[in-house]
Chains A and B, each alone.
Chain A
Amino acid sequence: MGSPLTLFQKVWNEHLVTQQPGAPAILFIDLHLVHEVTSPQAFTSLRSRGLIVRRPDRTIATVDHGVPTLPSKDGTVEGRLAWADDLSRKQIAQLEDNAKTYGIRAYGPASSNNGIVHVIAPELGFTQPGMTIVCGDSHTSTHGAFGALAFGIGTSEVEHVLASQCLLQHKPKTMEVRIDGKLSKGVTAKDIILALIAKIGVGGGIGYVLEYCGSAIRALSMEERMTICNMSIEAGARAGMIAPDKVTYDYIKGREYAPKGADWDKSLAYWKSLPTDVGAVYDHSVTLDASSLEPMVTFGTNPGMGIPVSGKIPTTAAFNDENQKAGLEKSLAYMGLEAGSSLLGHPINVVFIGSCTNGRLSDLREAASIMRGRKVAPGVRTLVVPGSQQVKRQAEAEGLDQVFKAAGAEWREAGCSMCIAMNGDQIAPGEYAVSTSNRNFEGRQGKGGRTFLASPLTAAAVAVTGCVTDVRTMFES
């Protein structure tokens, strides 16, 4: 036996085509996900060079960023697209054309399995342990929840993968993120990842692939693990990974594109070989105690600016570095908040429940558990946007849509929606939103809009009270 290896090293080694001296490694890519916003220029360039898509069978396309989420007036797909602006409609049409030209499986707006790229690939069974997965989208890190090496790439690299099914990569370093302890009631996977980013900072993961491990991670469902890995990029990490286990295998089994029969046995044997060996060495390690966590909420303009909901916004005295002090002041000026104050009770205009971070069935169930029998506070606009058409159907089968509608929330079609505000769903300048998405950057949810990131439980509590709330005060005793 060779020396003990980490999960990352095993997947890396398995996909190494060649490593020439003085050059980056050439990695084979098992699964290439494509969406409408970051692919048009890649296909155009591919065409102008006279190249073709090398492995259309390993390429999956969907449209999500610009797709309207308002219900179609006449029940047709065209009716839904009627809400889109001309540019988005053109981008969507171009992706469908490109997919047709190159023989790529595409989940267009008319597909009953359409949805956010990072929601549909796992739910259809494309995402599997030990794969290399890329997409022109930074939240590709989501798929690392299965023990895949999954990361976002730029449009030039999208073209590289289309043409060669390979990618040039410098080998990243590895960081162990050990999270032990039991979460208390009202504290979720979203709170874990927000607490971690607050701890290591938005640049803390630069150059690393994170591996989340420990008893708190083992106790999470696949959907919760996806929430954690999804936001690895918000710590600056190349990717985030979680070793596959029974929870992973049970999730995959039986899904449409999951391996079947003898293929399943073969895959399972490979998957079981992936977890990090005893004695394997990471380049860096951090720990977090899950049992000490509270629900988290961000106050600033990057995802590292988070505090426990009962905490106080830091003052510049907390920092030594002049740039950090200036950054905090700039953020608070944009957010209209005061250093040293509490967020509890801060009035909110909009609540957004959805995105590739928290737009899955279990997220909607959590939100509904708070909103059931309650009403959205007067003056608060609440959007609930399922991550995929499949999630939407499942939620409706359970009656969750009725819970949201009865509370006074809007129940939408699937898409990225207000996470990125490209499809018309956006907040107005100066408005405050509590959002279950992943980025609170200036203007992310609409120019001049101000975002507090939180879990679906917290977001639902805020929808009902109209202000930043500790969801733990709302559980029935």
Chain B
Amino acid sequence: MEPIKTITSRAISLPLDDIDTDQIIPARFLKVTDKAGLAANLFSDWRYNADGSPKPEFLLNQPDAQGAHILFTGNNFGCGSSREHAPWALTGFGFNAVVALSFGDIFRNNSLKNGLLPIQVDGATHQRLKDLLDEIPRAEWTIDLEAQTLKTPDGESVHFEIDAFSKTCLVQGNDELGYLMSFADQVKEYEVSHHKGVTI
């Protein structure tokens, strides 16, 4: 995983609530056995007409979306299925951060493992960011993960929370499995000493 320290990019806005992972990447594209190539079908049903031509009015088909690394959205982003294909498709398109009111639990976990930073903001901040995006749509935002800040062009800086462990993994580009495997001895001990009656 590539380390993330700062992200500077314009943010593009899809300000809907409850965007589920079936919209992010519909199930018919989950028949793959690798992670590559999913970006072409990111938001497929909102992005393309039945004949496969792009819908010009949809966000991802607009010039501003090209090269954007920050997606701004509403409440409960990534709810629904556990498919990690959702963050794979989002990062494949170029996103490194999603700013939302809240996230689906599994989506958040999956994102953190794929270099996609989920930034949760409160209602007032969310409204302010939304208004700013309406005012100056092309302005660049800067996310500083180490400082846990999101800076907007009006000079304001928003603090966001992220747990220390996830932050370290993202900043250093570490993979969590290495950490987990380093506890192999404790796991062995656990296996011997536990298991009240769990037999299969």
A38 to B32, CA, bound (A): 10
Known contacts A88-B31, A126-B200, A442-B23, A28 near B187 by CB under 8 Å: yes
Q: Which residue of B lies closest to A447 (CB)?
A: B45
Question: Please, how many angstroms separate the alpha-carbon atoms of A420 and B180 in the complex?
Answer: 33
Residue of A nearest to B75 (CB): A203
> Inside 8 A of B138's CB, which chain A residues have their CB?
none
Tell whether A436 is near chain B: CB-to-CB under 8 Å. Answer: no
Give chain B interface residues in 103-146, CB to chain A under 8 Å. Answer: 103-106, 109-110, 113-114
Minimal beta-carbon separation of B77 from chain A (angstroms):
10
Residues of chain B within 8 A of A130, CB atoms compared: 196, 198
Interface: A360 (CB within 8 A)? no
Complex Cα gap A238–B79 (Å):
11
- Residue total for B at the interface (Cβ-Cβ under 8 A): 57
Q: Chain B 185-200 against A: per-residue CB contact (8 Å), 1 yes, 0 no?
A: 0110011001111111
Cβ of B34 < 8 Å from any Cβ of A? yes
Question: Do A259 and B105 touch across chains, with their CB atoms under 8 A apart?
Answer: no
B159-200: CB near A (< 8 Å → 1, else 0) gives 000011100000000001101110110110011001111111
C-alpha gap A327/B79 in the complex (Å): 15
CB <8 Å contact, B31 and A91: yes
Q: Which residue of B lies closest to A21 (CB)?
A: B164
Q: Are A203 and B79 in contact (CB under 8 A)?
A: yes
Q: Which residue of B lies closest to A208 (CB)?
A: B105
Chain A contact residue count (CB 8 A cutoff): 86
* Distance A358 CA – B75 CA, assembled complex (angstroms): 29
Instruction: Please give, as numbers and ranges, the residues of chain A lying within 8 Å of B163 by CB-CB distance.
Output: 24, 170
Chain B CB within 8 A of A243 CB: no
B183/A18 in contact, CB under 8 A: yes
Q: For A202, what are the chain B residues with a Cβ–Cβ distance below 8 Å?
A: 18, 76, 79
Residues of chain B from 3 to 24 with CB closer than 8 A to chain A in the complex:
15-18, 20, 22-23
Taken together as a complex, chains A and B put the C-alpha atoms of A125 and B176 apart, in Å, by: 32
Name the segment of A156-164, A282-290, A464-472 touching the other chain. A156-164
User: Once the chains bind, are A37 and B106 in contact (CB under 8 Å)?
Assistant: no
B interface footprint on A153-184 (CB within 8 Å = 1, 0 otherwise):
11111011001111010100000000000000
C-alpha spacing A268/B198, complex, angstroms: 10
- Is the beta-carbon distance between B186 and A270 smaller than 8 angstroms? no
Which residues of B sit under 8 angstroms from A238, Cβ to Cβ? 105
Is B27 located at the chain interface by the 8 A CB criterion?
A: yes
A429 touches B50 (CB 8 A): yes
Binding site secondary structure of chain B: loop
Determine whether the beta carbon of A206 is less than 8 Å from that of B76.
Answer: yes
Instruction: For A28, list chain B residues within 8 Å (CB).
Output: 187, 190-191, 194
Q: Which residues of chain A have C-beta atoms less than 8 A from B31's C-beta?
A: 37, 66, 85, 87-88, 90-91, 422
Closest-by-CB residue of A relative to B198 is A30
| Binary per-residue interface labels of chain B (37-49) against chain A in the complex, 1 for a CB within 8 Å, 0 otherwise | 0000000010000
**Contact call A166/B180, Cβ cutoff below 8 A:** yes
Q: Which of B28, B114, B183 has the most CB of A within 10 A?
A: B28
Task: Kindly state whether residue A347 has any CB partner on chain B within 8 Å.
Answer: no
A294 to chain B, nearest CB (A): 24
CA distance A448 to B177 in the complex (A): 39
Using Cβ atoms and an 8 Å threshold, which residues of chain A touch B186?
Answer: 17-18, 26
Give chain A residues whose Cβ lies under 8 Å from the Cβ of B80.
138, 233, 439, 441
Among residues of A, the one whose C-beta sits closest to the C-beta of B184 is: A164
In the complex, the chain A residue whose C-beta lies closest to that of B181 is A164
> Would you call A80 an interface residue if the criterion is a C-beta within 8 Å of the partner chain's C-beta atoms?
no
A23 within 8 A of B: yes
When the two chains form the complex, which single residue of A40, A44, A94, A421 contacts B27, counting CB atoms closer than 8 Å?
A: A421
B33, CB-defined interface residue at 8 Å: yes
| Whole-angstrom CA separation of A267 from B195 in the bound complex | 9
Cβ-closest chain A residue relative to B35: A41
Q: Are B28 and A421 in contact (CB under 8 A)?
A: yes
A136 adjacent to B82 (CB under 8 Å): yes
Q: Do A160 and B20 contact each other (CB < 8 Å), given the known contacts A87-B32, A203-B75, A420-B27?
A: no
Least CB distance from A459 to B in Å reads 21
**Beyond A202-B18, A207-B105, 18 additional pairs, beta carbon < 8 A:** A26-B183, A28-B191, A30-B195, A30-B198, A30-B200, A49-B177, A58-B200, A138-B106, A156-B113, A156-B114, A164-B181, A203-B17, A206-B76, A266-B196, A323-B75, A439-B80, A441-B80, A443-B22
- Closest 4 pairs (CB-CB, A-B): A87-B31, A267-B197, A154-B110, A203-B76
23 pairs across A/B with beta carbons < 8 Å? A15-B194, A24-B165, A28-B191, A37-B83, A40-B32, A41-B33, A41-B35, A41-B84, A44-B34, A51-B181, A54-B187, A151-B106, A152-B81, A153-B109, A160-B177, A165-B187, A203-B75, A236-B79, A257-B200, A267-B197, A302-B79, A443-B45, A447-B28
